[in-house]
Copies of this chain bind each other. A is one copy, B any other.
Amino acid sequence: MKIDKMNKKILNILQRNGRMTYKEVAKKIDRAQSTVRDRIGIMEEDGVIKGYTVVINKKKAGLDCYAINQCKVDPGRLDEVTRKLLRIDNILQVYHTSGDHNLTFMLATCDYDEMKRILSEKVAPLGISDMEIKIIMESVREMAYTDIM
């Protein structure tokens, strides 16, 4: 799919404020509201836009324990393990990565006990041979955007 200049502008605006109305976006880029609506609709259909979300301050929302978990999974079972992992509550972003750990995921829970319970009862049985938990001591920025150029 072709991401032209107008689409880039739209994406960059929505990254900063995902709730902006078509009208507001249209005004910002000096186009017709219908054009903006169409463009966004097409990007949603094409999967360029995956969705819209609120970015929450996890600590303030009572999620005191927040971690990055890096796992080793048998490459032959990586897709299967990932599918099951996605169904577990509290699992947030999930990535396949280079390096000696091939699976990285974010996890947020109320406290350590809940985190331990989820890892032991739900994640471990999926067949994860090695798991390195990095506690996020401060989430400096979660509202992330990158200028698409």
Contact = CB atoms under 8 A, between A and B. Distances in A.
Contact of A54 (B18, B72, B138): B18
Nearest to A83: B140
A132 B51 contact: no
Copies in the complex: 8
A144 B63 CA distance: 14
A85 B119 CA distance: 20
Contact of A116 (B67, B75, B135, B145): B75
A86 B116 contact: no
Interface in A103-149: 104, 106, 108, 110, 112-113, 115-116, 119-121, 123-125, 130-149
B82 A140 contact: yes
Given A50-B142, A51-B143, A123-B75, A134 B99 contact: yes
Given A11-B56, A47-B60, A55-B51, A144 B97 contact: no
The 6 closest A-B pairs by CB, nearest first: A92-B144, A18-B52, A76-B124, A14-B54, A100-B132, A75-B124
28 contacts: A15-B56, A16-B53, A19-B19, A47-B57, A48-B61, A49-B54, A51-B55, A52-B52, A53-B145, A56-B148, A63-B146, A76-B120, A86-B141, A89-B147, A91-B146, A92-B141, A93-B142, A94-B141, A95-B138, A95-B139, A95-B140, A98-B98, A98-B134, A98-B137, A99-B99, A101-B134, A102-B133, A110-B149
